[in-house]
Structure 1
Amino acid sequence: MDTTWTTRHGTRLVGRLWEPADSSPRARIFGLHGILEHCGRYEWFAHQLTSHGYSLEMIDLRGHGRSEGPRVSVRDVDQYLEDLDDVSRQLREAGREPDFLFGHSMGAGLIILWCATRRPPVKGAVLSAPPIMIAVRIPRWLIELGRFLVKVFPDIRVVQLKTARRFGQHAVSRDPAVLKALREDPLVFRGRFPLRTGLELIDLQEKLQHAATEFETPFLLLQGTGDKLSSANGATLFYERASTVDKTLRLYEGLYHEVLSEPEKDQVIVDVLRWLDAHLAKSPQQRNPPA
């Protein structure tokens, strides 16, 4: 079912809620998608969760999918976190406060920052390919030029990711059906997005690396070694720095950015469900040493 939320400044966010068909959920999961995409692309993931008794609720981030806001435009990362604060409050009021969190790519990065700064009382987080280190090398001079241009032209749109077009076949998934659906999806953004947003993504790397030492939430980190967007080295760095003792890193040899969209996704979902089941009975305060 569709859901709607309103931020403190009146921006309307649209989301989806998937629940088990014949029973109340064993636990609730709240999730965030990556840049350019939307929560509707997580239908398969949601079906796997609901068939095992979990519910999944996601939102389209501001400027994405069916949510309001200039396309893929954000003042800064804190604006996303403020939106999360607003949605979290409304979920609590609706009696649907999550037990677990999920995020993919930029969404995983936002979940990391939100947990490190807000410390929500959840049992854990599933993080898919967070951008701890971006795999694409960008010259320093080009970044500094971008910062200058944003000061002069705050709303300039010059950045266009190739993820949804020809670069998609080398980055997102090795499954042709996934790439075809990505290319044909009308809610996936393919135009030029604000340079400010691109710079925020670059700066997000350093913020996430610092946040690791403040990250106390148990987590399962999913990362493909063939990912050409979020570096597997960054996933390892975050795992090593994270302050929680209850942490699990799953590196999938050769898989691309969306491990839950790869041909090997059945094995990935087994790992996710096994981890969720193991943490379901724990209180948020409990911690286990890493396996």
Structure 2
Amino acid sequence: MPFLDHPKGPAYYRHWPAAEPRAAVIFLHGFGEHTGVYHRYAFALNAAGIDLWAVDQFGHGLSQGERGDFGSIEQSSELADTLTELASRHRPGLPLIAQGHSFGSIVTLLRLLGQPDRYRAGVISGAPLVPVPGMLDNDTSFDLDPGWLSADPFYLDSLENDPLAFVDADGAPLARELDRAWDRLGADLPKLAVPTLAVHGVNDPIAQIGAVRAYAEQIEPLQLKAFDGGRHDILNDTMHREVAETIIDFLNGSI
């Protein structure tokens, strides 16, 4: 089984290779997920000639850590750095795309701000760009209703029966890191220079679309594609094919 080395411990990763890749996506998942829930998305990218590399973040999937505890933003970014280096060695010269979902989207945006020349483009989904009310109280438990995430019965069944997926954990570590990120994004996100696509569900009850729409109106490199009826896990919602096609069209114009 492939693992990335990190001082915090080994981190499991997956690589879905295209037959003749034109680009490589470096992907960071969100809370309660792991790389195994993205097979459908990976196959859609592969059919379009795009490699997907993804890592189980700390506290998730087959990687080290307490359940739901990503560690720090910097540690997540280090995993993405190592995965990027691995992808670059595997296929030298391929254009690189940074992508993230939910908490992974926050880390991805900070990476694009800090390394604007490393990636050709960025993609984010379910991005919580402003404070999430449910994470601001004194109760540190974090328990998601699966119905907030998706209406796709296949995905909901996989969440219920997948021993590596979960919807509840101590939310204190996540809230701590998001709070750090929100302070920085308010000041720095307008400086975003890398072309970035945000795909977002209009009905996302966790990371509501208003903040993403407001930023997209102010920041020229940030594009928003909203999906009516879409919930938080937009890459795995009922319109996942349309979402994947939208991302691929964007990448085709960027690579």
Larger Rg: 1
Aligned identity (percent) is 23
Question: Per-residue displacement from partner, 1:131-180 (whole Å, max 9, x unpaired)?
Answer: 102454556xx3xxx5xxxxxxxxxxx633222xxx111x1011222212
- Alpha-carbon RMSD: 2.3
Equivalent runs, 1:231-270 vs 2, <5 Å: 231-242=208-219, 245-270=220-245
Contact (CA 8 Å) 1:3, 1:17: kept in 2 or not?
no
Partner of 1:99: 96
Contact (CA 8 Å) 1:255, 1:262: kept in 2 or not?
yes
1:208, distance to aligned residue in structure 2 (A): 2.6
Contact (CA 8 Å) 1:39, 1:60: kept in 2 or not?
yes
Aligned counterparts of 2:86 and 2:246: Cα–Cα separation in 1: 31
Partner of 2:56: 60
CA gap of 1:237–1:207, structure 2 versus 1, over 3 A, is farther
Aligned counterparts of 1:131 and 1:206: Cα–Cα separation in 2: 13
Q: Are 1:196 and 2:173 counterparts?
A: yes
Picking from 26, 30, 44, the partner of 2:40 is: 44
Letter in 1 for 2:102: S
Residues 28-37 or 192-201, more deviating? 192-201
Q: TM-score, normalised by structure 1?
A: 0.79
Partner of 1:155: none
1:95, distance to aligned residue in structure 2 (A): 4.3
Partner of 2:27: 31
Aligned counterparts of 2:168 and 2:240: Cα–Cα separation in 1: 29
Question: Per-residue displacement from partner, 1:27-80 (whole Å, max 9, x unpaired)?
Answer: 111111001210110000001010111110100111211111232225532232
Number of matched residues?
Answer: 254
Partner of 2:141: 160
Picking from 108, 119, 128, the partner of 1:122 is: 119
1:186, distance to aligned residue in structure 2 (A): 0.7
Letter in 2 for 1:116: L
Aligned counterparts of 1:17 and 1:182: Cα–Cα separation in 2: 21
1:107, distance to aligned residue in structure 2 (A): 0.6
Structure 1 portions without partners, runs of 5+: 147-157, 281-291
